[in-house]
């Protein structure tokens, strides 16, 4: 199997860069990282990733959950949400998206790797 291709949607550049570096060291292909929900939608259509790591609170007009809904409407793709918010409202809203996982920040690659790999076994 080819490397699993991942899109990172995270508006904090340092977090995105760290995730990208760690994922690539572990053998994944990070095709891009973006800071807004709108950019995430465009990148999914252009880069065709296998998985999206999606921050819930993104820059732009739509949040990560709304972007995920639009992405799923376009293409069935696993979404892994990341958030610094612990309110249950975000989790409930995220549950509306099919085929997802949900992590509270800080997110460590060793925590999300089993979830990423589970989508492809």
What is the per-residue pLDDT across 66-114, written as a single tens digit (0 to 9) for each? 999 999 999 989 999 998 866 667 667 777 777 678 888 888 999 999 9
Number of domains into which the chain is organized: 1
pTM: 0.92
Nearest residue to 101 via CA among 78, 67, 120: 78
**At 55, which CATH number?**
3.40.50.2300
- Would you place residue 1 in the very low, low, confident or very high pLDDT band (cuts 50, 70, 90)? low
What is the per-residue pLDDT across 30-75, written as a single tens digit (0 to 9) for each? 999 999 999 999 999 999 999 999 999 999 999 999 999 999 999 9
DSSP letter at 36 equals: B
What is the domain extent for residue 54?
A: 5-118
- Going from the C-alpha of 61 to that of each of 104, 110, 121, the distances in angstroms are 22, 31, 35
């Amino acid at each position: 199997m080819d490397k699993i291709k991942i899109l990172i949607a995270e508006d904090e550049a340092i977090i995105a860069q760290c995730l990208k570096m760690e994922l690539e060291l572990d053998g994944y292909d990070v095709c891009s990282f973006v800071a807004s929900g709108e950019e995430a939608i465009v990148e999914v259509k252009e880069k065709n990733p296998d998985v999206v790591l999606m921050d819930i609170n993104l820059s732009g007009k739509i949040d990560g959950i709304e972007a995920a809904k639009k992405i799923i409407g376009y293409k069935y793709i696993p979404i892994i949400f990341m958030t610094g918010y612990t309110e249950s409202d975000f989790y409930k809203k995220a549950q509306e998206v099919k085929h997802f996982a949900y992590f509270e920040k800080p997110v460590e690659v060793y925590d999300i790797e089993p979830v990423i790999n589970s989508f492809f076994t």
